[in-house]
A and B are shown apart, each in its own frame.
Chain A
Amino acid sequence: MSLAAYPRIADWITAQDGLLLVRTGKVDIGQRISTALIQIAHEELGVPFNRIDIATVRTDKAPDEGMTSGSNSIEQSGKAVQCAAATLRATLRKRLASKYGGAPEEWALADGAIFLPGTNHRFPVIELIENLGKDDLVDPAALPVARPYQSPPRPRMRGIAEMVRGGHAFIHDLDVPGMWHARVVRPPHVHARLNGVPETARARLAAKGLHLIEDGSFLAVVGPNEWPVVDQAQKLAIACDWDVGKGLPETDVFTLLNASKSARFHAPKAAPTKGPIPEPLVLPDHTARYERTYQLHGSLGPSAAMAQWSDGVLTLKSHSQGIYPLRESIADSLGLALEKVIIEHMPGSGCYGHTGADDAAFEAALVAMAHPDRPILLKWSREDEHMWEPFAPAMAVELAAKTSGRSITAFSAEVFSDTHRGRPRPGPKRAGPGKLLANRFRETPIGPTPAAPNMGVHAGMHRNLDPVYAIENKRLVKNLVPDLPHRTSAMRCLGAAVNIFAIESFMDTIARKSGADPIAFRLSHLDDDRARNVLLTLQDQLSHWPDLTEATGRGVAFAQYKNAMTRVAVAIELTVNDMAEIQLHRAAIVADAGRIVDAEGLTAQLEGGLVQAASWALHEEVKWDRDGIQTRDWDSYPVIRFDNIPKVSVTLQDQPDEKSLGAGEASPGPTLGAIGNAVFDAVGLRLTRLPFTAASIRQAAYH
């Protein structure tokens, strides 16, 4: 997709002022994609790291690569940059060989130069690239440079030196002359609407030198100093008179998932079709239902954005994962021509999916348009992010299997969920604007946009619904359930987190009931050698772990993300203590991500995915009642902390001659499965609803 739309070398790599500039539409959200892209250019062209930079990702300059999501950046942007750099390498070699002699492949590239060994023909690569034709095309078949060494590269992470000194600039740190701060005044919940702002509250704002932006029920406080804005916005939210209506629905969401009339699709190989839905398995040998409640992305730094409206142009800085679709949705919302909106990406806190970033950008735009020529920095509060970010949907997965001896002969999976696609993407009936939160509250409201089923392969809720195992007869069904209590969208792994948790728990149950070893049982259902090697390596590692003590258990799980990306096996050892709390001791990850671009970055993503999934498994749960979302901070919404981090080992199986595979979302699914399986191993309880809180473990023990 990336190369097809941007076929020129200059779309991806340019040279200027002695620097090689890598151009990408993918944004660095802490996943080290910028380090990886620099590493790719470095490896192909022999230009030193400190002479390669990443161009600012901005809607009027960078290639439009849609979203930075789905673990796609290495396979899309990475592939494009690799092909562009490899094409450049081939072009330079060919031209120099024809002019100075030698075979093209004899010309070597290192230390920023291209040279013919044994001669004094030596030229600076960056200068040569500067003088190439601007319209030369990328050869999409250009192969990556052969790796002359054994171990995969481990480049230093871009930006880390600044991060440890406090010098890495996040969007929250913007501070420009004349800038004002803004804060949105939130209603108690999504169905509440403003009756009025009391005169006393208006007078207090005025006395503090603050301004109020009003558009229907959308309210924001703006002023020159941050703390008074923060303080007064909070006070104003309480002082305002809100019509709270019927409040939030309190019906159990897991009941609603099955009770509502869903859009239902047969999804063979995780590719939804409009064809008839196969009958359920008759008299299956095993059935189980797995569930997960609503969870948060819970970025550490709440969302923020900067906006300025000057001379009919709206300029925004945002940490959105999709600045191009966001631009279209904002332009449409405000009735502006597309080219009158410019969005530049700036780092925010790690996001793990669709957070408040896009909503904050639009809110900053609304404030900026009311105060022309003034830069506006709008930040969400912790409570804003906890209550108003789009949640990861509550889900249920119902599995059934028929077995013969120790093999599964028929398998059925049916998933129920709200949409994972709440991002402001343009579409029919103003779908983009309808997904921007503030539009619901404006005087002329837009949205919410009803969810449309995602028919993509391994997309949305049906990502990894198809077990990677060789089973002849599979029945896969997705149910998009409407009218659920909360706004939802994409969170790391989308449906794969819950689907893999379900499948891997189920595999464990069937293995144990058939008297098989869980790893051997998986191996007997796997044809793919690379998958088998990953599991066999894990098995070997486990044989060296010390014996288990009481109430301690071990679990394993395996998955290949989207059945096409990184293969990951995870083992977890944990204890369930007397308080029914899970204590994580150790973890092992074995992964095959193809040709490794950045071993350190890959390891960090796999470890980080494991830790985040452990937090989902042990703690994370959005709670609400009629009056609103009740999980509003890190006390009411606990997450994993340093006191429960297992010792993690990561083993990478490099495949220098295979293509590089996306890995950012590859470890959470197997981690959830491994934790559930370890709990069963420890105390004999099969937990089927995430999270596994102490209360839920005690409840399972009673049943």
Chain B
Amino acid sequence: MGARHLVTLTLNVNGEMRRVTSDPDTPLVYVLRDEFKLKGTKLGCGLEQCGACAVLVEGAPVLSCVSPVSAFEGKSITTIEGIDANDTGSRVQAAFVTYSAAQCGYCTAGLVVAATALLDDNPSPNRVDIAQALTPHLCRCGSHPRVFRAVKAAAKS
């Protein structure tokens, strides 16, 4: 069984074309983490409920824990490791540092990715816009107030 199902796929990850041999049904996050060793994207639920695994696909935030890797062939994927290639991304990162917008840090990568997508789409979001963009993301430490401050600051800078 097993091996018969393996296929070779080419993915564009952080601007680099990368090949992987995998079961095409494997959710993208496992390929990013285990095959490409991009461990910054976290797995929190595997159910698209918590946002820890967010990556950008063609610039839009996508949760990577359910959709199979085969669905991402030919699309441009940006993970937290590549988010600083985008000017907005590096501003968001800097603001998260300035405002200490993390506690344990497990949700942070997903939030930075989502905030980058938000600001690329809407350079001056209000509090409701920020809340709406980040509501798919859970933070259990309660860093939300600092995340609001950081995203606002990144929008202004």
Contact = CB atoms under 8 A, between A and B. Distances in A.
Interface string B25-48: 011001001100111111111110
Given A207-B2, A227-B27, A642-B131, A166 B145 contact: no
B106 A349 contact: yes
A550 B99 CA distance: 34
A178 to B, nearest CB: 14
A352 B140 CA distance: 9
A643 B142 contact: no
Interface string A149-176: 0000000110111011111111011010
Contacts of B79: 166
Contacts, number: 178
A373 B122 CA distance: 53
Nearest to A381: B46
B146 A604 contact: yes
A640 to B, nearest CB: 8
A208 B142 contact: no
Interface residues of A, number: 61
A631 to B, nearest CB: 13
Contacts of A23: none
- Which of A168, A300, A348, A604 has the largest number of chain B CB atoms within 10 A? A300
Contacts of A163: 96, 102, 105, 108-109
A253 to B, nearest CB: 24
A76 to B, nearest CB: 21
B86 interface: no
A33 to B, nearest CB: 12
B interface secondary structure, majority:
loop
Interface string B132-153: 1011011111111111100000
A300 B138 contact: yes
A260 interface: no
- Which of B37, B47, B144 has the largest number of chain A CB atoms within 10 A? B144
A35 to B, nearest CB: 9
Contact of A635 (B49, B107, B135): B49
B142 A301 contact: no
Nearest to B82: A166
A165 B81 contact: yes
A302 B53 CA distance: 13
A445 interface: no
B107 A300 contact: yes
Given A208-B2, A300-B50, A350 B132 contact: no
A611 interface: yes
Interface residues of B, number: 57
B120 interface: no
A203 to B, nearest CB: 9
B104 A164 contact: no
Interface in A201-233: 204, 207-209, 225-228, 230
Given A350-B103, A382-B45, A166 B144 contact: no
Contacts of B84: 165
Interface string A607-623: 11111100100000000
Interface string A346-390: 011110100000000000000000000000000001100000000
A449 interface: no
Contacts of B40: 165-167
A573 B118 CA distance: 28
Contacts of B45: 382, 633-634
Nearest to A351: B104
8 contacts: A172-B43, A208-B2, A226-B30, A227-B34, A300-B42, A300-B52, A349-B44, A633-B49
- Closest 3 A/B residue pairs (Cβ): A166-B40, A30-B104, A611-B142
